[in-house]
Amino acid sequence: MSGSGGAPRTVEVAEHVWAHLQPDGGWCLNNAGLIAPAGGRPVLIDTAATEARARALKEAVARVTPYAPRFVVNTHAHGDHTFGNRFFADRALVVAHEGARAEMALAGLHLTRLWPDVPWGEVRVELPGLTYRDRLTLHPGEFPVELIHPGTAHTAGDTVVWLPEQRVLFTGDIVMSGVTPFCLTGSVSGSLAVVEELRALGPETVVAGHGPVGGPELLDATAGYLRRVQRLAEEGAAAGLTPLEAAREADLGPYAELLDAERLVPNLHRAYAEAAGAPPGHGLDVETMFCEMVEYHGGLPACAA
């Protein structure tokens, strides 16, 4: 399996809790999680983008526990976190926020058409069989697994997975680790509000949607980047610049080395719209934002899935 940063690895982050990491966390190289309490009712958090990566994830799960996942939780609708559902759905119930299910049904396999040269394999859209609206608690074993919809952030249908006894938080793509946050279909202001909600939980270990495992400092870095986007939007609008023009002139300071810097363009579109009064998640022209991001990058960003 080829990748831009090395082979996937599965690391134990707390007793009965693992993170499955796909370096380097760039486009479609997402993280997953596994909760495998004594008693054999594992919870898998997200799957993977391609058939090969989903099968590798399945093998990684089997090395940790002899039991197949009972639940698969999708933190949001994007295909890198959901296309592998089909390889677990014969034994597992897929769970997500109701907004994520709707977005999955609408988007279909669109992601595969953006990068047609990626060896996607026999992926398909496997919709969640169980959805929730605000909170849902799973009881796979001796400790609870809390699913929380904190509001519109990365998307309008985000879920974070919180383990209060272990103080472990799986954020999905609301939080990134060494990777540029992305609000194409979500919200900059909403993400900032949600990060503060997550901080209030008091996590000690944070597993982001992409990139290495960290702690609360990942919340700080995500918030710092998003606040800088808001400042750039304010300055760009005052100067009469479009979001693309503002991105080309932007000084990202300490965030300049984050992976996938081209996401600045749609993030600025969101920040411009919100500064003008648009609510979080307001419908914008996603295709135009994506095309301008590609223009800023000088071509379609590489996807090593």
Residues 227/266, Cβ–Cβ less than 8 Å: no
Question: What are residue 35's DSSP bridge partners?
Answer: 17, 43
> Which residue, chain included where needed, has tokens 């479609």?
28
Predicted confidence (pLDDT) per residue in 7-41, tens digit: 999 999 999 999 999 999 999 999 999 999 988 79
pLDDT reported for residue 3 = 46
The verdict on whether omega for the bond into residue 90 sits within 30 degrees of 0, i.e. cis, is no
pLDDT reported for residue 4 = 59
DSSP state of 69: P
Closest CA to 111 of 199, 169, 185: 185
Residues 47/84, Cβ–Cβ less than 8 Å: yes
Residues 114/74, Cβ–Cβ less than 8 Å: no
* 3-state class percentages of the chain: helix first, strand second, coil last, to nearest 5: 35, 15, 45
pLDDT reported for residue 1 = 40
- For residue 184, what are the CA distances in angstroms to 51, 79, 174, 263? 25, 14, 12, 8
Distance CA 163, CA 144 (A): 7
Predicted confidence (pLDDT) per residue in 101-145, tens digit: 999 999 999 999 999 999 999 999 999 999 999 999 999 999 999
Strands, sheet with 32-35, edge to edge from the N-terminal-most edge strand: 9-14, 17-21, 32-35, 43-45, 71-73, 93-97, 130-132
pLDDT confidence bin for 2, thresholds 50/70/90:
very low
DSSP state of 107: H
Q: In the predicted model, is pLDDT for residue 5 greater than 80?
A: no
Distance CA 289, CA 185 (A): 10
DSSP state of 239: T
Residues 176/222, Cβ–Cβ less than 8 Å: yes
Q: Is the pTM of this model over 0.95?
A: yes
Residues 80/111, Cβ–Cβ less than 8 Å: yes
Per-residue pLDDT, averaged over 225-234, amounts to 98
